[in-house]
Amino acid sequence: MVSKYNKIAVVGAGAWGTALAQVAAKAGREVTLWAREAEVVESVNGTRENSLFLPGIALDESLRATGELKEIAQADAILMVTPAQHMRRVLEQLAPEIAEGKPVVLCAKGVEQSTNYLLTEVLAEAAPQAKAAVLSGPSFAAEVARGLPTAVTLACADEDVAEALVHAIGLPAFRPYYSSDLIGAEIGGAVKNVLAIACGIVEGKKFGDSARAALTTRGFAELARLGVAMGARTETLMGLSGLGDLILTCNSPKSRNMSLGMALGEGRTLEDVMGARNSVSEGVHSASAVVALANKYGIEMPIAEAVAAIVTAKATVDDAIATLLARPFRSEG
């Protein structure tokens, strides 16, 4: 089926970028996947597999990889899946190729550490001519690439564009729900990564399922307070990109952030865990920025503060836990 956005470019060929490229190809779109690594381009085009980041999953025959950013200019819409801390640099390189009003869908989850900006704010500075959109929700890359079912949020201030993007990449097993609430769609994905580290620590310390459920719930209260203060709608925060993504990320070792927290809870060092990975645990980089946003808006986020203190070596895991448990009793809210 021909779509308003028939040519889709995916910038960033990690596991999630590759999975989204697979989704768009299965939806009948003409897909170009940009990779920084030459070996990924060769692997995708030569063997129909991203052996570095998404091994064992056969990719659609129509999907094409490239290492040339200029080729992205031909796309009708661009999905940006580079890690949050590298998003500005790649957008600045790509900006001359982005036509006025072209949709740029931000698919990474995080807050820019150097500025405490949401990625929509980064896009507004780096490529102001683009039409910003956000894709977020409960979605493990390998499951999405295999065609297992999930649902996500796709937000754009122009709901006609959001609806057209949904029809461009939606599948029976990959169901985007459109929204006009960009902040709500974005803040959930950024904060849940930080909270997942905390839940992983609970798991690593063997504190039990009750403790993890309690921490997830109190963490969601923190996420919702910050989101509302920044202008997000409550229904978005309660939806797929907020509560839905939080439930997934805080309850499965498949989550990069939760698994990192588990390793910290078991006594491993952050340097040891990060050094052994070729994927990004975005919560490590976003924790301090989330806390800075909380301070800016006068929001109390003790769990996020504890994670930030741990990953910046300002507190040990045990000291951070002791501080949280020593907090005074109060009303729920």
Catalytic positions: 192
Which own/partner contact pairs does 145-151 have at CB distance under 8 Å and 24+ positions apart?
145/15, 145/18, 145/19, 145/22, 145/23, 145/54, 145/57, 145/59, 146/57, 147/26, 147/171, 147/173, 148/173, 149/173, 149/174, 149/175, 150/174, 150/175, 151/175, 151/176, 151/177, 151/240, 151/244
CA–CA distance, 216 with 158 (Å, rounded to integer): 33
Distance of CA 20 to the CA centre of its chain: 12
| Beta partners for residue 77, in sequence order | 8
| Beta partners for residue 132, in sequence order | 104
SS3 55: coil
- Taking the CB of residue 253, how many other CB atoms lie within 10 A of it? 11
CA–CA distance, 260 with 197 (Å, rounded to integer): 6
DSSP 58: P
CA–CA distance, 282 with 256 (Å, rounded to integer): 8
The two tokens of residue 289 are 């920025």
Of the candidates 169, 294, 184, the one whose C-alpha atom is nearest the C-alpha of residue 239 is 184
